[in-house]
Amino acid sequence: MTGGSDMGSTVAVVADRISWEERRLIEAAPAFGLRLDWVNDESLGLGGPDAPSLLGYDALLVRSRSYTRGGLIATLAEAAGVPALNTARAIHACENKAVLRALLRTAGVPVPDFRLVLSRKDFQQALDELPLPLVLKPVFGGMGKRVTLIRHADTAQSVYDYVEDLGHAFEQACLVEPYLGGTSVRCLVVGRELVAAAEFESGGADWRNNAALGNSSRAVAHDPDVLKIIDQVVSELGPGIYGVDLFHSPDGPVVNEVNHAPGFRAVASATGADIPSAIGRYVQELLA
């Protein structure tokens, strides 16, 4: 594959904005013979066979935070002959929590018990089958938004009123699952390797344990059970750049979700891992 610049390969960092992670990736790129350019994911105009907005790029590094844009952009880029990281297949799997859970469970990867809720009848059945406390979360979405903890049966139906009032079925699709406590482990995977792992713990009045919410974090050892799960996830989705979020369950760790465009500032801070260099090295090897 020929590069789009004198120094080596040129990669489009496709995102709606440049955040801390994208800046670190762009800064680290020259050490690996790469040039990374930010390309706004709202200005690609893909669909034509020649994809003129992607001319000169050897690959796309998809960092779109939208849960609809990433997979669509990767699909059309690959159709135009430009490889995407992650692949369109992987992004489409990750951006839909129900699809991802089904895919991983079929492959033998441990995931939490859950029920798909598309209506109030579904919601009531989930309440009948699963013990409280329960978590209600959107199928599409991230960063802990619209994730609700249901502790008491007498408030459950009132909580669902808010879901029912959302305007689109896309927004109403939810999962209900058992609440597995206030800690989770974010595993940052590059290629097939677990580069860093950090445990996040909810604090204060907010029960959610999401790094985007500023929860406390600490580095954790690479547990053999976790390494086995990471290998299973990568075997199913293909090598790539992932944030694999794990919960602790009575039967061991389970995969809550896999983020296809993971933030890694908190993990890097907690562990000291040089994640931008790991990603730069991986992209360099893929384009060699």
Please report where in the chains the tokens 């209600």 appear, as a residue: 136
Residue 213: pLDDT band with limits 50, 70, 90? low
Residue 94's nearest CA partner among 262, 265, 282, 268 is 262
Quick: pLDDT tens for 87-139.
999 999 999 999 999 999 999 999 999 999 999 999 999 999 999 999 999 99
Cα–Cα distances in angstroms (integers) from residue 20 to residues 9, 27, 36, 148, in the given order: 22, 11, 14, 28
Return the pLDDT at 249: 93
Return the pLDDT at 208: 60
Inform me whether the pLDDT recorded for 178 exceeds 70: yes
Handedness of CA 177, 171, 70, 32 (dihedral sign): negative
What is the C-alpha to C-alpha distance for residues 56 and 69, in angstroms, rounded to an integer?
21
Residue 259's nearest CA partner among 201, 208, 186 is 186
Identify whether the C-beta of residue 241 lies closer than 8 Å to the C-beta of residue 262.
yes
What is the C-alpha to C-alpha distance for residues 44 and 37, in angstroms, rounded to an integer?
13
pTM (2 d.p.): 0.92
Cα–Cα distances in angstroms (integers) from residue 27 to residues 5, 46, 49, 136, 166, in the given order: 16, 27, 32, 39, 41
Inform me whether the pLDDT recorded for 214 exceeds 60: no
